[in-house]
A and B are shown apart, each in its own frame.
Chain A
Amino acid sequence: MRPRVFKIYGVSHIVHSTDSLYESESYFNKIGYSLKFKTIGSVNALQKSSFIFGSMSEKADILLMSKKGYPDVEIKSEVNNRNIISKSAFETFYEENYTPDMHFPKDDKSTKIYIRCNNTMNATNIWSKLGFNIDKILSNNYLKVDIKNSISNNKVSLLYINSKEKELKTWLNQNNTVCISFICDDVEKVRSYLLKNNYSVGDVFIMTPFNRKIKVFFVRNYTGEIYEFISP
């Protein structure tokens, strides 16, 4: 059961990192997303540096795209968005009714995110600990977690896939989906809980996009992928 000291309301947005802001914006426009806000030259918080491969760019350009019934997508581009040899562990299928394979029914409207990892049980432990249900064990190689988002009536399906690749560590400046962001009521409480459970967590910092105060921290899962938690 989820400890009642904090509440996690669902997925806020998916972070997509790119070396071409323009191409990514065009792609999301084509599939029905529209621009919610744009920040050029946003200063990167130092607290992100341990989640960045190599040296961190001083600034990043950020777009937030939205589509009703789907989680927002943050498109982020920075000078050192580099093609790191290892690929991001995440792959997101945004397009409506797109069914990448047999693991999703044809009418499944969730946003589907595939996550390659070297141990699905280890990877999904974080969701058990945070109180989410791991709905289905599809086979020895796949584990699916459905995250229903009550705040914006969308559903995100995380499909963890066992992979034999050795290096699956994700970095925020790779190209592709690099992080999934969750809204909670208190990032300090979630961070402290994850820290007690030996997750690699970054420090909390404050962002102020469009005059809003948002508290943020990143956490790296045991299996290398990155999640973000935000709260007012």
Chain B
Amino acid sequence: MKLEEAVRKINTYLSSNKSNLSFGESDNLFDIGVIDSFGLIELVLFIEKEFSISIEIENLSEDNFSNVLSISNHIYQIINNEEAKKNYEQGLG
């Protein structure tokens, strides 16, 4: 998966479902009121379903979830790590 795809999906979700506020990809979504703590959990559940990944509670930090870019990067890393692990295991097999 490309990073741009994650950015696009997160942007679409936030714009269409959750807020009338405008925001940039680097804007802090909590500070400008696009999401709050409950909204974050809604977003996490959307991400887990949409990208078929699991977000660990320990990784719900502000670093990972403050803006569209950090969220997309986190998704991208999880997916790439999982793919690398799968490839490694296939290589061993």
Say yes or no for B52: interface residue by CB 8 A criterion: no
Judged by a CB distance under 8 angstroms, whether A185 is at the interface is yes
Which residues between 157 and 185 of chain A lie within 8 Å of chain B, taking CB atoms?
Answer: 183, 185
The A interface is mostly helix, strand or loop, or mixed, namely strand
User: With contacts A150-B60, A153-B62 known, is A12 near B42, CB below 8 A?
Assistant: no
Contact indicator per residue, chain B 17-41, by CB within 8 Å of chain A (1) or not (0): 0000000000000000000111011
Of chain A, the residue at the smallest CB distance from B62 is: A153
User: How far, in angstroms, from A212 to B18 measured CA to CA in the complex?
Assistant: 9
Inside 8 A of B40's CB, which chain A residues have their CB? 151
Chain B residues within an 8 Å CB radius of A152: 37
Complex CA gap A208/B41 in Å reads 16
Shortest distance between the CB of B34 and any CB in chain A (Å): 14
Q: What's the Cα separation between A212 and B36 when bound, in Å? A: 12
The B interface, classified by DSSP as helix, strand, loop or mixed, is helix
B45 at the interface (CB under 8 A from A): yes
- Bound-complex Cα distance A108 to B40 (A): 26
User: How many of chain B's residues have a CB under 8 angstroms from any CB in A?
Assistant: 13
Interface residues of A in 20-36 (CB under 8 A from B): 36
When distances are taken between beta carbons in the complex, the residues of chain A under 8 Å from B57 are 7, 9, 150
> Contact between B38 and A183 (Cβ–Cβ < 8 Å)?
yes
Complex interface: chain A residues within 8 A of B62 (CB): 153
A3→B38 CA distance, assembly (Å): 22
A232 touches B60 (CB 8 A): no
Task: Tell whether B16 is near chain A: CB-to-CB under 8 Å.
Answer: no
Instruction: Return the contact of A212 from the options B38, B58, B60, B61 (Cβ within 8 A).
Output: B38
Q: B: which residues have CB within 8 A of A?
A: 36-38, 40-42, 44-45, 57-58, 60-62
Q: Are the C-beta atoms of B38 and A214 separated by less than 8 Å?
A: yes
Q: How far is the CA of A150 from the CA of B57 in the complex (A)?
A: 7
Q: Please pick, from A10, A36, A66, A232, the residue contacting B42 in the complex, using a CB distance under 8 A.
A: A232
Q: Which of A7, A153, A230 contacts B38 (CB 8 A)?
A: A230
8 further A-B contacts with Cβ under 8 Å, apart from A151-B40, A185-B41, A212-B38, are A9-B37, A9-B57, A12-B38, A150-B61, A151-B41, A151-B60, A214-B38, A232-B45
**Contact, CB under 8 Å: A185 / B58:** no
Q: Does A44 contact B (CB under 8 A)?
A: no
CA–CA, A230 and B57, complex, Å: 16
Among residues of B, the one whose C-beta sits closest to the C-beta of A183 is B41
CA A158 – CA B50 in complex, angstroms?
Answer: 36
Measured CB to CB, the nearest residue on chain B to A184 is: B41
Chain A, 127-176, CB within 8 A of any chain B CB? 149-153
A231: CB under 8 A from chain B?
yes
Complex-state Cα separation, A161 to B89, whole angstroms: 51
Min C-beta distance of B75 to chain A, whole Å: 17
Known: A7-B57, A9-B57, A9-B60. A151 touches B37 (CB 8 A): yes
Q: Which residue in chain A gives the minimum CB-CB distance to B59? A: A150
